[in-house]
């Protein structure tokens, strides 16, 4: 799994001119699921994200996790994170998990974040979505479970 985590002041996702998810301060996460990913990858990623200390403390140092700042998460599925651009000019997405595998893992990821006590908003798997955010910092972190 690949997660692109952006620390945000706010974020939202819109489908067909309707806002379906909106958060104040927290993380906007783009989640790509690889064809070889498992529940173990979900568990690892949930642990890393919930404990990641990238919010500033009173001294201005990145020392607080999302729970310490009462942050929320906007989680967006993003199969294009597994684009292979080595050949030609048209990306290949053959390494991205098929929906029958990816949807349960995406839902398990979101549920794992919720079980840790976080408020999680989502987009809709496979939908044409417009995502808006105000990146705070900017701070953007990429985690790939293949690089544990």
Catalytic site positions: 78-80
Q: How many Å separate Cα 104 from the centre of its chain?
A: 15
Other C-beta atoms closer than 10 Å to the C-beta of 112 total: 19
What is the distance between the alpha carbons of residues 94 and 97, in angstroms, rounded to a whole number? Answer: 8
Closest to 4 measured CA to CA, from 65, 52, 61: 52
Per the CB < 8 A criterion, the answer to whether 5 and 49 are in contact is yes
Say if residues 141 and 62 touch (Cβ distance below 8 Å).
Answer: no
Backbone angle region of 67, left / alpha / beta, with phi > 0 → left and psi within -120 to 50 → alpha? alpha
């Amino acid at each position: 799994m690949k997660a692109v985590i952006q620390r945000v002041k706010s974020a939202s996702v819109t489908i067909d001119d309707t806002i379906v998810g909106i958060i104040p301060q927290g993380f906007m996460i783009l989640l790509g699921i690889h064809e070889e990913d498992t529940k173990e990858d979900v568990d690892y990623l949930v642990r890393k994200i919930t404990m990641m200390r990238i919010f500033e403390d009173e001294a201005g140092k990145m020392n607080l996790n999302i729970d310490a700042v009462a942050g929320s998460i906007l989680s967006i599925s993003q199969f294009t994170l597994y684009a292979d651009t080595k050949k030609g000019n048209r990306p290949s997405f053959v390494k991205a998990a098929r929906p029958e595998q990816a949807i349960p893992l995406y839902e398990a990821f979101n549920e794992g974040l919720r079980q840790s006590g976080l408020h999680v908003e989502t987009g809709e798997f496979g939908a044409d979505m417009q995502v808006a955010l105000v990146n705070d910092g900017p701070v953007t972190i990429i985690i790939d479970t293949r690089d544990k």
